[in-house]
Structure 1
Amino acid sequence: MDRVLRNKFYSKIPNFWDRLYGMEYALFDCLELTSDELDQIKRATTDTYRIYKKISHLIRGASNETLLDLGFPEKALSFLRNVHLPYETVIGRFDFVMLQDGPKIIEFNSDTPTFIRELFEVNGLVCEHFGIQNPNSGEDVVLGKAIRNSVFHCANDLELQRHPYVIFTAHEDDIEDRETMMYLMDLAKIKGAHFIPLQEIQLITEGENKGVYDLEGNKVDIVYRHTYPMEALLEDVSDNHFPIGIEFMKLVEEKKVGMLNPVSAFLMQSKAIMALIWGMYEQRHSFFTQEEQKIIHQYFLPTYLDEDPFVTTGEKYVSKPAFGREGNTVEVKQNGKTLYTEQEKSYDHYVKVFQKYIELPVTTIKTEHGEKEAHLLIGSFIVNEKASAFGFRAGAKITDNLSYFLPCGVRGEAK
């Protein structure tokens, strides 16, 4: 591949992070899919979300002890049962592995999924260049409408009698987070919306002016914090040890400000939910209908809250934290011994889940340094409860933050 052509192509996309950590991230390549593979991914996304939505209603009524067993932080317990929107999450992303018998779910990032601009915008530009159908065509328009819809419902929940003041926020010094939020704000086209860095948000926690404010003293009605994970927010404190995150969540609870994604999205974020779903499936629990049990059998992997089932069988399995990202703190194990692990251990303090190990499929990708083999992971979005854009990460056995973005397209008519 001509490195000059690659750089010329990506340089035309304003403010896009085609390189991360000084290395190539977005590949100038396009993985060709069949219409059948496209259909399988869409169906898996729809069906799997159906299971998650049903289980979230059950979890919301669970005891604090059960929520702690599922890995939720104690600081989150008083907020987890709050419902602010008529759907569980605005934007969520499933991670699937494509096997011979179809996709299998690895995890669900229902709270703060990234990989958005890559799939909703850049994938289409690459497809156009290579003359191949973009499977995500039109999904950017759907996403913009979904965000506006969620702002409408959020404003209704706050009982606002005027147009809401909406801010999109992220860590300003992180290009991926910042530009993802700028992209979402641009898609949403919400009148008067602004991007405001996290450090510039002001809280008033007492008195009649309780609420969230910008630096000019304007009261904020809705905060879109899509790239700032709830588990990190809950731990956020100021330099003088003021618990900013907890106080912000109290304002959300008191309906002094709205938040997107909503708290209900976080309720599905714990990977321990997969262990709960699988355990109920193994017991053939009546909570799931026969049709739903077929969906679990088809798309879910054996997942538990202890490793004994895998130690007993001698199977390979994956240990991963209930809350974690980019492969951090993930281990591949067998008979209780670690075979392969990521060096980063930032999420080691969370409850662990243990999932059957499956090999990620391998393909040959074109990098600026030539061809190489890489493992494929599918990211598939659910937007306002409907299957949406999807795409591929290509990298090591454990997909981490150094994995590539591999654009994809469909030969012939994309449905």
Structure 2
Amino acid sequence: MSGTYQEKRKQFYSQLDSFWADLYNEEYALYDTAIIKKQELEQLHLASNRIGSIFFKIGKLLRQVPDQTLMEMGFPKETLAFLRVKTLSAESLISRLDLIPSGNGYKCIEINSDTPTFIKELFYVNGLVCKEFSVKNPNEHSDLFLSGQIRKAINELCDKQANQDPYIVFTAHEDNIEDRETVLYLQKITGLPSKFIPLHKVQIEKGVGLFDDEGNRIHLLYRQTFPIENLISDEDGKGNNIGLWLLELVEKGKLDIINPPSAFLLQNKAVQAVIWGLHMENHAFFTKEEHDWIEAYFLPTFLEPAYFLELGIPFVKKPAFGREGDTVEIYNTEGKLVHADSEKSYTDYLPVYQQYIEHPKATFSSEKGKQEGKLLIGSFLVNGKASAVGYRIGGTITNNLSYYLPMGLEE
């Protein structure tokens, strides 16, 4: 196809139904592909499975620790009972690991286990871009696996409720295209009888249940993009704590949600400090093989910066709960601030300190011409199993202005 990059990009993405190729009036989805070797893809899946197993194992431990420990990790007091609820066999139905290629392997900087985005891009759009560029899709058939696992999870929750005809509602902020279309995509591929209802139209009755705008009782709420830490401060026009009411419904078994409560437990970045602390003690909670995996794939992470300051190691300071690079700061070997994200929305949360490592650089085509950026890999776990993968590329801190770079597989 002849034409400039801008023309070809516009022609391609304009054909895609309900996709946000541009965000914040800026280019988001690139008309380009980065090719990954088959062996590298296999390593990526292997690393993701191992990292996921460590996170999911620690979830079982954290549900048993005292309330004080959870509060010291930065969990709001209002969520403690909710955190101990286990509704699904998997800790999280859909989670995304953020990985940095390092040496011959990968380092995990965090897990987005509660409300991960980047789903429609990797499970759907990536395949269309690969077809456009005549390259193999590394995420082939991942959408079929995803839809099957969502149905399996919903069936598991409904069987537990002994409800033969559950009312399933998918919800999101209606005015946010990324949130809305991600949820509508998941609803579509799930293929179960359900309804999409915008978040502002969902009604709650304290201690009784959740209802749609016509007064019908909702049994299962799929809220892929609405974080629990935001939910707990949610109030209605009368000042009622409707977010906390919703958590109480889940605690009492009057409502099921996906992702489940256990996913919020792992969303806290302080969990990585717990994992690293147990690893430094060579604690018997982890097997020797698991300790090897932690050493290979995890980064030193603490609730204080002393370790890095004493050893002269560059580090990142980030909020226990936070998204899109917001409130992230990078410090050099002398402990001086060298880079900070301009957004400061999460300053009230407990800070977590993690060793800083460089992202690999890559060049890519864009509407601004050839650019060089820093790569971050998003690697999905679906019901705990490695699934779709893809690249974000941008600045030193990956934020909501970073690009989506489609990934192709070397034949």
CA contact (8 A) 2:331 2:338 kept: yes
Q: Distance in 2 between matches of 1:85 and 1:156?
A: 11
Q: Deviations over 1:191-231 (max 9, x none)?
A: 2x11101100011225xxx2111111111110001100011
What does residue 182 of structure 1 align with? 184
Shift of 1:381: 0.3
1:288 maps to 2:286: yes
Q: Distance in 2 between matches of 1:278 and 1:101?
A: 21
1:197 maps to 2:195: no
Shift of 1:264: 0.6
Q: Which amino acid aligns with 1:205?
A: K
* Alignment match of 2:309 (pick from 308, 311, 336): 311
More displaced 10-residue stretch of structure 1: 40-49 or 150-159: 150-159
What does residue 40 of structure 2 align with? 37
The equivalences for 1:16-27 within 5 A come to: 16-27=19-30
What does residue 376 of structure 2 align with? 377
> Helix, strand or coil: the match of 1:267?
helix
What does residue 85 of structure 1 align with? 88
Q: Which amino acid aligns with 2:408?
A: G
Identity %: 45
Q: Which amino acid aligns with 1:177?
A: D
Q: Which amino acid aligns with 1:256?
A: K
Deviant stretches of 4+, over 4 Å: none
Q: Distance in 2 between matches of 1:239 and 1:122?
A: 39
After superposition, the CA RMSD in angstroms is 0.9
1:400 maps to 2:399: yes
The equivalences for 1:289-368 within 5 A come to: 289-334=287-332, 335-368=334-367
Q: Which amino acid aligns with 1:46?
A: N
Shift of 1:336: 3.2
Q: Distance in 2 between matches of 1:380 and 1:252?
A: 29
CA contact (8 A) 1:158 1:258 kept: no
CA contact (8 A) 2:5 2:366 kept: no
Shift of 1:306: 0.3
Q: Distance in 1 between matches of 2:392 and 2:5?
A: 21
* Alignment match of 2:251 (pick from 250, 253, 258): 253
CA contact (8 A) 2:5 2:31 kept: no
Q: Distance in 2 between matches of 1:216 and 1:76?
A: 29
What does residue 167 of structure 1 align with? 169
Structure 1 residues without counterparts, runs of 5 or longer? none
> Helix, strand or coil: the match of 1:7?
helix
Shift of 1:355: 0.6
Q: Distance in 2 between matches of 1:167 and 1:393?
A: 30
> Helix, strand or coil: the match of 1:182?
helix
CA contact (8 A) 1:392 1:408 kept: yes
> Helix, strand or coil: the match of 1:328?
coil
Q: Which amino acid aligns with 2:288?
A: Q
Q: Distance in 2 between matches of 1:80 and 1:294?
A: 29
The equivalences for 1:216-295 within 5 A come to: 216-295=214-293
Q: Distance in 2 between matches of 1:36 and 1:2?
A: 31
Scaled by the length of structure 2, what TM-score is found? 0.98
* Alignment match of 2:142 (pick from 134, 139, 149): 139
Q: Which amino acid aligns with 1:296?
A: I
CA contact (8 A) 1:158 1:257 kept: no
Shift of 1:235: 1.1
> Helix, strand or coil: the match of 2:370?
strand
Q: Deviations over 1:370-415 (max 9, x none)?
A: 1000000000000011100010000000000000000001111xxx
What does residue 127 of structure 1 align with? 130
What does residue 6 of structure 2 align with? 3
Q: Distance in 1 between matches of 2:295 and 2:84?
A: 29
Shift of 1:75: 1.2
Q: Distance in 1 between matches of 2:146 and 2:136?
A: 20
CA contact (8 A) 1:94 1:379 kept: yes
* Equivalent residues, number: 407
1:61 maps to 2:58: no
More displaced 10-residue stretch of structure 1: 174-183 or 32-41: 32-41
Shift of 1:16: 0.2
More displaced 10-residue stretch of structure 1: 32-41 or 17-26: 32-41
CA contact (8 A) 1:214 1:220 kept: yes
The equivalences for 1:86-101 within 5 A come to: 86-101=89-104
Q: Distance in 1 between matches of 2:37 and 2:262?
A: 35
CA contact (8 A) 2:314 2:335 kept: no
> Helix, strand or coil: the match of 1:78?
helix
CA contact (8 A) 2:172 2:226 kept: yes
Q: Deviations over 1:338-360 (max 9, x none)?
A: 11000111111111111111010
More displaced 10-residue stretch of structure 1: 343-352 or 110-119: 343-352
CA contact (8 A) 1:85 1:157 kept: no
> Helix, strand or coil: the match of 1:375?
strand
